[in-house]
Structure 1
Amino acid sequence: IHFLNHFPSLGFMAAAAAPVWDEHQAYEELLYWDSLIQQGHRLHPHDFDRYEELRYWYDCLCYEEELRQYHDYIAAIEHMEDKRYREAGPYDRYVLAKHSEVYPPTEELEAVQTIVSHVECALKTVSDQMDAPKDDEANTEAQSDGSQERVLRGVMRVGLVAKGLLLKGDKNVELVLLCSNKPTVTLLKQVAEKLSAQLEVEMSACSIL
């Protein structure tokens, strides 16, 4: 299944020396791949890599939009709290004071979101490393099996970080790693080892920047 047959204009974009992402076309392409997967089609490995690239781009786009909305929300809340504090009675002021004690500051929330994003990106790299073919035979098997044989299928935020209920000082957040088969102790140790190595690489890159 080749997407360029349905959207020929993207072929010109791919051939350009410095392609520029067209958000509308990229979103249409992502919807196209999603519809094929929902219909039960098995994607070619090259097409599946393209689908993952689009999915990662869309997730980052959504995260940036959520972060912008969060900043706007915090600014509106602070404005309302300042106004209410000047007009509130003694009990309202007591509640607002308690809220400011337990609600984490913006810097702390952004730090948690940044750490979670780094771990999610590192897990995606680990997934690619674990599914990378080691020889020609493995490459042939990967092409025949398609996208259905990936060991790690994705990662989900759960608990307080997913619901936005973090309190001041909360540093333990939960992520759930989805596997194609029942997880084992061997797989857990393998993922933990590769994840630690990948996080060290990302930390080194951040320190250089």
Structure 2
Amino acid sequence: MKKGKFIVVEGIEGAGKSSAIGVIEQVLEQHGIAFIKTREPGGTPLAEALRDIVKSASHEEQLTQETELLLMYASRSQLLANRILPALANGHWVIGDRHDLSSRAYQGGGRQFDDAVMNAIADVTLKGFTPDLTLYLDIAPELGLARAQARGELDRIELEELAFFQRVRDKYLSLANASPRTCIIDASQDMAQVHSEVKKAVSAYISQQLGA
């Protein structure tokens, strides 16, 4: 059985990840490709419990940046071992709502953890595992946060100051531009155009795999 592929959608709040994932689902279905969906942090019962800790804005004590960082990777480790790797081994493709690039951007860029620290934790938890294709939906923090606020109540991370999200975006762009497996899509465009570019990128990747 041919191993599945891992496609990840990344971006700050309000970038339109959920609707982009819907487009990817449609493309995979049109090609008859079996798939599952995951989200991070979360995706397994234990990982979802860790997500609640990370996202909650109502803790009795302050969640330290170090704790946040470790919880993100603990959740990712659970998801990778219990859902992503088994699905890929069974020939299913996986659509991920965030993966390691999020931690590199949010904790590495936003929280300003050193690259050496990020690399060390990733090496232990991911053991070199990387997505096959990442779609990074790029949007200015001001616009993205305005969209997120319009959706309703914000979580603990979404309540961070604008400068935090500017650092996150800068790190995203730096890493995305350096990665041949990452496609940058301008998420500030009309939604129909964004979806068109998502469909084009995923369709091209599928065609490449079918021709391999």
TM over 0.5: no
Higher strand share: 2
Higher relative contact order (CA 8 A, sep 6+): 2
Q: Which protein is richer in helix relative to its size?
A: 1
Q: Which of 1 and 2 has greater Rg?
A: 1
TM-score, normalised relative to structure 2: 0.29
